[in-house]
Each structure stands twice: as structure tokens, then as C-alpha cells.
Homo-oligomer: A and B are copies of this chain.
């Protein structure tokens, strides 16, 4: 720690950041700090009341009691650095209201994508830009699982087991694989990008736990990879925000982001497309950004609650595009009886709903996947269509007598 502090002083041109006190309900965990002369306590409140403390780093996690402590610290004029994405995504408005009142700063760079300085870039390096859209692989667990499914043709359950064995997935992986973690990060990214508080509850969120290996394989055959994407787009009628497994063309910059790596692509009116890539989680990458935030706060360079980000407390919530109104391309696999005329009937129902077909392949799944089956797979890529039109067409097709199992679909981005 002493060596790191010295190195940091050197790299910042002499900034002297000292750890003076730490609080943890489990005092035993603080023993190594106590030996270094840091005041330790079981009460976070003691940190808030000390006059010689300028910045508090919140490492509690979760909403409460972190939320109460953070607000109290901010109101008391102490700046707070936190990597707590759940806190920002659900209680950002209260946090920034407190920061505004206390004229204090909130450093939250590590709350999205750990070591990747993407929030920093959106606040500062890209400040000249109106952001039109962003698209990110923001969950390493899902990206690891999808990489295994794509490269090795493994199924979801097997890939999840492997991720757990390597420590890349929790014992209960729900928060990651169902997309909730990605939605938290999207809420924060979208709030910064579109400069209005994005409501977490309003983000349609679909994970990867129901993704079938066969669809990953067909996508690959057609030149695409499947990624869990957090997507935010500015439209004339509100922002379109969603988290879902998505097909990306194989030559898209995000397509080659593999294993536990994260990346976020941002489109600005001046800069065009920029992308930020790196480790989105882990102790050291997260610490890298927490320290960067601390330095920014210490320099007085972090935006205070009454500054650049005050809109988080004040502004109306980000207006959203009504559900189903988004326009996009779709991948769809129909499971149909091997009968004459089926393709024509599917095409005609799609056409009635203004969905046109860009390409189609028909497969005998028995032959391709080692088991006999009386049904065949008809796999289609659509041109751009309205989401609600596409879903209405799907409902109608799935009710037809030639369908053997409900169809499965995925969205396509990146063209």
C-alpha cells in the first residue's frame, strides 16, 4: 500500500491521498489496515462525522445500508467514490439530490465495466458530442458463456458449469444470466448518454438462459455471433433501451470481444463511432477505476452534485420509445412439419405484417444434430421491421397447424 501510494503520488504530479480511517462491521477484516496506522471502526457514521476526511469510498455493496450512508456523507459535504451499480441505477436520483445539497462529488466510474474508462469518456472526452446510440457487452459472465457456445458449440448448461468452475459465474448466476446486471449498467450509461435519468424498471431485459445452442450455430453459419447486448438509442419519439441476446455480424468490432472481456461502442455526432474495451470486473480492474475516481475527486476535477450531473436529481425521467415501437432486423427459427407450401405460408403471414425476408435457410435438424426428427428448421433473417409487427406475425405463425414447436427469435444489430 505504501509503495502504491508513492507511485500514485509520482504519477499524479504530487497529489497526496491518504487513507486515514476505515469502517467494517467485521473488525477482524480491518486488522491489516490497523497495523498500517489506519483508524478502524465498526461504524460508518464515524467516518462521516470526522472533519479531516474529504472523500469516502463505499465498498458495502447493495442498496441498504449503503444508500443511507452515501446520502448522509454527501449531504455532509464529503465526496463519495463508489463502484455500486445497483445503487446508482436504482437510487441515482436520491444520491445526486444529496450531492447537490452538500455540493459534493460522486465518483462512480467503476460502476460500469470495471476497469474500462467509458463513463469518464462520456462525461469528459466525448463531452462535445450528442450521443445518438450506444451498445455494449457489459457482463463478463454472459460473454464467457456465449464465447464457449459459439466457439465449441457447447450448450448453455454446460457453458454455465464451466464458467462457474472457473469462478466467472456465481453459484446463483441469476443476476448475470438474466440480464439484470446489464440492465443496471445500461441505466447508468443511458442516463449519462442522453442526459436524463433512465428508469431501471422501464428497461426490457432478456437474458441468455433460454438461448439454444442450435440458434447460436445457425447464426454462426450465417456469419453472425450472438452477444448479450445492452442497447441505447436516441430516437425522435424517445429513447429505445433494451438488454437482449443479439446477432452481430462477424466483422463488427464488438463481435471479436471474447471471454470475460467487456466493450462499449458509443456513437457521437462529431466523433463518429468509438469503442472502449477491457476487463469489466475483477478486484484489480475495479480498483484501478476507483483510484482514478479518487484522484479526480481529490483534484477537484470530478463533477459535483451541483454541476454537470445535477440533472440526475432534477431532470424529468428519460422519455422512452413505447414498447414494440423499435425498428430492427430479426433472426427467427421456425420448427415446422416437413410439408409442401409451409415456406410460402410463413412468408405470406410475415408479409401481411410488413415483415420482409432478407435470407432463409431450411435445415433437417435430425441430420444436423444427430437425432431423427419429423420436423425441420426454417431459419430466416428479416429486413428491418417494427418489433410489434414482427411479434404479431410470430403469434399468428405459431398458431398454424404446420408448427411443431414455438418459434424462437433474436434481434440483429450492427448493420
Contact pick for A274, options B128, B129, B278, B300, CB 8 Å:
B278
Neighbouring B residues of A288 by C-beta, 8 Å: 126, 128-129, 268, 270-271
Complex interface bits, A252-291 against B, C-beta within 8 A gives 1, otherwise 0: 0101111000010000111111111111001011011111
Number of copies: 2
User: How many A residues touch B, CB cutoff 8 Å?
Assistant: 60
Is A336 close to B, CB under 8 A? no
Neighbouring B residues of A285 by C-beta, 8 Å: 270-272
Measured in the bound complex, the distance between the Cα atoms of B284 and A275 in whole Å is 17
Is A399 close to B, CB under 8 A? no
Contact B308 A12 (CB under 8 A): yes
Neighbouring B residues of A309 by C-beta, 8 Å: 13
Main secondary structure on chain A at its contact with chain B?
mixed
Contact pick for A13, options B253, B299, B308, CB 8 Å:
B308
**Which residues of A119-171 have CB atoms within 8 Å of chain B's CB atoms?**
120-121, 124-130
Query: Which 8 pairs between the two chains have the least Cβ-Cβ distance?
Result: A117-B125, A128-B291, A274-B278, A13-B308, A301-B301, A115-B271, A275-B277, A270-B288
> Besides the contacts A125-B289, A273-B279, what 6 more A-B pairs have beta carbons closer than 8 Å?
A120-B125, A127-B295, A128-B292, A276-B276, A276-B277, A300-B301
- The contact sample of 11 A-B pairs, CB cut-off 8 A, is A11-B195, A14-B307, A128-B287, A128-B289, A128-B295, A256-B256, A270-B287, A272-B285, A273-B277, A274-B278, A275-B277
Q: Which residues of A contact B (CB under 8 A)?
A: 7-8, 10-14, 109, 115-117, 120-121, 124-130, 195, 251, 253, 255-258, 263, 268-279, 282, 284-285, 287-292, 295-296, 299-301, 303, 307-311
